[in-house]
Amino acid sequence: MFLAARDSVRDVVFVDGVRTPFGKAKGVYSETRADDLIVRVIRELLRRNPSLPAERVDEVAIAATTQTGDQGLTIGRVAGILSGLPQSVPGYAIDRMCAGAVTAVTTTASAIAIGAYDVAIAGGVEHMGRHPMGEGADPNPRFVSEQLVDLSALVMGQTAENVHDRYPAITKARADAYALASQQKVAKAYADGRIQPDLVPVAARHVESGWELVTADEPPRPETTLEGLAGLKTPFRPHGRVTAGNAAGINDGATGCVLAAADIADELGLTAKMTLVGFGFAGVEPHVMGVGPIPSTEKALARTGLSIDDIGLFELNEAFAVQVLAFLDHFKIDDDDPRVNPYGGAIALGHPLASSGVRLMTQLARQFTERPEIRYGLTAMCVGLGMGATTIWENPHFEGASGATDRTGEAA
């Protein structure tokens, strides 16, 4: 029996989030260890928040999809020790494929809410160039022999083609147009200095050329055109609709954030950037995993008592353009709605699997700071093997009238 039961849960706040610039697989981080990437993130979080004593961190939860090699050995514990945290601070590894960092956040936040922790560091790392998705995996033959899942469920690009089949109104041309917009929004966000404040520079080693200081994301292609996208091959199906241009790449990178109980953040002089309202995870048929954010968002909204019209900002992970467009169609949101991914998304920035969830949160927190008229925002992403993950956050800087926000992001 839990004798110290509380009458109510505590508010949990997102104090700060940072990430490494994302790299292309076999690119800028090809000779950099995965654990060194996440160590750089944790050290930067501590540097940026000097009023947080290292010994006050109660847990380090770090996600990785492929938990082997330099992102194995219980990466949360390894990263904590290597970062210089006291050895009394525990850590663990977590895996929910693309939603690993999201799960690290919701798991530690839940522990903070009930009083088991006061402060936690949560994040994710993925070095897909060194550890491709599924490396060393041995899928049980019952998946196929007992027809538990469609064979295409194990190839993410094929699942995206399946979502196109389910939503015939989402054409390749429409997916390409969405992809182009993502590239353009990222280019503008960089030009306006919106992304750089939350990037931590990384010294990347190269045997032949020496060291390089990485200060910007490697994947964006600002020169992208619709004509160029239209001419790309469809590797997952002849005459298909999914290409390298309207999908996220294979990437390396790490993310992390500091979470705290609201009263502890006040005690330590830490500034709250967001307050957690609620979250939802849901399962769907694995061969159409891209629709996962639809039921996870419906679940999160239902449990928080909010509606989709209450959401003033959306950070949706762009694993594939079709997946985001299916979400928008379901909730009757326009493709170019200004609430959606204002700084662009993973099609341009990259998607290092388990790390991406905290990138979404960090960008949402930055937008909250700049948009005090917005009260609620959410992050959502699809997850391999047929899942969705959604978190809903409240803006502590909110200055508008209480109630919903309209589709332009103005307080109703």
Distance, CA of 218 to chain centre: 17
pLDDT confidence of residue 144: 83
Amino acid making up residue 310: D
Residue in 127, 287, 351, 397 annotated catalytic: 351
β-pairing, 387-394 vs 376-383, is antiparallel
pLDDT confidence of residue 7: 62
Q: Identify the bridge partners of residue 38 per DSSP, sorted by sequence position.
A: none
C-beta of residue 32 within 8 angstroms of C-beta of residue 38: no
Distance, CA of 81 to chain centre: 24
382 catalytic? Reply is yes
Per-residue pLDDT tens for 198-234? 999 999 999 989 999 999 999 999 999 999 999 999 9
Give the alpha-carbon dihedral of 377, 382, 383, 389, to 10 degrees: 30
Q: Identify the bridge partners of residue 199 per DSSP, sorted by sequence position.
A: 19
Q: Which two tokens stand for residue 140?
A: 């049980």
Residue in 164, 257, 287, 382 annotated catalytic: 382
257 catalytic? Reply is no
C-beta of residue 274 within 8 angstroms of C-beta of residue 393: yes
Q: Which two tokens stand for residue 282?
A: 């849901």
For 71, the 3-state DSSP assignment is helix
Q: Which two tokens stand for residue 271?
A: 């500034």
**CA neighbor of 13 nearest in space, from 92, 145, 108:** 108
Per-residue pLDDT tens for 50-70? 999 999 999 999 999 999 999
For 313, the 3-state DSSP assignment is strand
Residue in 98, 127, 131, 287 annotated catalytic: 98
pLDDT confidence of residue 393: 98
DSSP-assigned letter for residue 272: P
* pTM passes above 0.85: yes
- Beta strands, E only, 48-207: 59-63, 91-94, 119-127, 202-206
For the chain, 412 residues long, the average pLDDT of each consecutive 10-residue run is 59 98 96 97 98 98 95 96 98 97 98 98 96 87 89 93 97 98 98 97 93 97 97 96 97 98 98 98 97 98 98 98 98 98 98 98 97 97 97 95 45 41
Number of H helices, E strands in the chain: 12, 12
Alpha-carbon Rg for the chain in angstroms: 20
351 catalytic? Reply is yes
Burial class (CB in 10 A: 0-12, 13-18, 19+), 411: middle
For 167, the 3-state DSSP assignment is coil
C-beta of residue 236 within 8 angstroms of C-beta of residue 155: yes
C-beta of residue 253 within 8 angstroms of C-beta of residue 126: yes
- Structural element, H or E, at residue 102: helix 100-113
CB atoms within 10 A of CB 115: 13
